[in-house]
Amino acid sequence: MKFHNDSNPGPKLNMTSLIDVVFLLLIFFMVTTTFEKQAKLKIQLPEATQKVNPQSQQQVVISISQKGSIYINNNELLNSKYDSIASSLKQIIKGDEKPPIVIRADADAAHKHVVTVMDVLADMSFTSVSIATTPSQ
């Protein structure tokens, strides 16, 4: 009978360097990946019973968050004061054109912010103003 001596099991693969390379690749892909920044503001709209048909013209959307932050076409204003809102709207509108305005106010937003926006729109002679709501269930 011949017994085999397994003192020389053959070549072995060193896993340490392989793990290091995979780890570095993982870090590289995590750092270089661009993440999509969600600029959409989550607002819980109040409910209403009547549906309104969407308008076909280009409209300006003014969003008011629960905390009172004001966004015009998803661009946040520095503050929620009258002058800031008026100057931002003047930059958006061109000439005497008065596009339709949609106010998207959170159901829990302070009433004073909505009234301030409506005062600005009234002083700037906007005639087509609507308030976004969700259908009641």
pLDDT, tens digit, 9 for 90 and up, residues 94-137: 776 788 889 888 888 888 888 999 899 888 888 888 888 777 76
The pLDDT value given to residue 24: 94
8-state DSSP, 15:
H
CA distance 21 to 86: 56
Contacts of 126 (CB under 8 A, 6+ apart): 98, 101
pLDDT, tens digit, 9 for 90 and up, residues 42-58: 666 666 666 555 554 58
Check: CB of residue 128 under 8 Å from CB of residue 86.
Answer: no
Q: CATH for 47-135?
A: 3.30.420.270
- Collapse the DSSP code of 17 into the 3-class scheme (helix H, G, I; strand E, B; otherwise coil) and give the result: helix
pLDDT, tens digit, 9 for 90 and up, residues 10-54: 777 778 888 999 999 999 988 888 666 555 666 666 666 665 555
The pLDDT value given to residue 20: 92
Which structure tokens are listed for 89?
A: 């709207």
Torsion sign (Cα): 89, 69, 133, 39 = positive
Residue ranges covered by each domain of the chain = 47-135
The pLDDT value given to residue 22: 93
